[in-house]
Amino acid sequence: MMMFIPKYFRVTNIDEVCDFVQTNSFGMLVTTKQGKPIATHLPLQLHKQGDDYYITGHMAYGNPQWKTIRETPDGVLVIIQGPHAYISSSWYNHENVPTWNYQAVHMYGTARIMNDQELEEDLILLLQKYERQRENAVLWESLSPQTKKQIKGIVGFKIKIQEVQAAYKLSQNRNEEDFNNIIDRLNEERNLNSHQIAQVMKDKNSFT
């Protein structure tokens, strides 16, 4: 399974991809059961250990997808998506077709189920990431023993990443006039995704 990426939009800088994954870490885990894809949307974490990269996460014990990790550990796919927005062809200085700008990363690897200690350590890191800056931080060490017992209701997994495909479709194939006009028009739209993708385009502007 491959993601189609025209050469204009291919991203190969691993540090840039890692930053993107860390920022947009609510992703989709895709596994298969008897050839049928199964997907769950989950908070995920990216880790580097030596020269290897891993994705960790957890799902409810009642979600049967975790069983497919044991049955078919190879060929697991994680999809991470950033902001995206419709691009009208009326924003070009010439006739063309409309399109869509977006950021997406596909990561393929081999998965396994975590043991209890690994899962607890992963939850500690997850809470630190999202809670440590909050006024009344809910960290693992502050949870009651009764609350911690709820760990029995989830299953953790760890994926060793073997292949990464990243695409940033940000109108890189347009001329400078069209590129800047697209940013301006996106900022005039009434939705957050359009404003976010406009900011990404501005930050990565190759014309400056």
181 found inside a domain: no
Q: 100 lies in which domain range?
A: 7-174
What pLDDT is attached to residue 193?
A: 95
Domain total for the chain? 1
Please report whether residue 199 resides in a domain. no
* Whole-number Å distance between alpha carbons of 61 and 16: 34
Q: Stretch 167-192: mean pLDDT, rounded?
A: 94
Q: Which residues contact 81 (CB under 8 A, 6 or more apart)?
A: 24, 27, 28, 102, 103, 104, 105
Residue 205 lies in a domain: no
Query: Can you give the pTM of this predicted structure?
Result: 0.90
Q: Per the domain annotation, does 46 fall within a domain?
A: yes
Instruction: Calculate mean pLDDT across residues 74-78.
Output: 93
Would you say residue 184 lies in a domain?
no
In a domain, 35, yes or no: yes
pLDDT at 53 exceeding the cut of 90: yes
Per-residue pLDDT, 9 = 73
Look at residue 185 and tell me if it is in a domain.
no
pLDDT for res 27: 97
Average pLDDT over the chain, rounded to whole?
A: 92
- Does a structural domain hold residue 194? no
Q: How far apart are CA 129 and CA 113, in angstroms?
A: 22
Give residue-wise pLDDT tens across range 108-151: 999 999 999 999 999 999 999 999 899 888 899 988 999 889 99
Domain containing residue 56: CATH number: 2.30.110.10
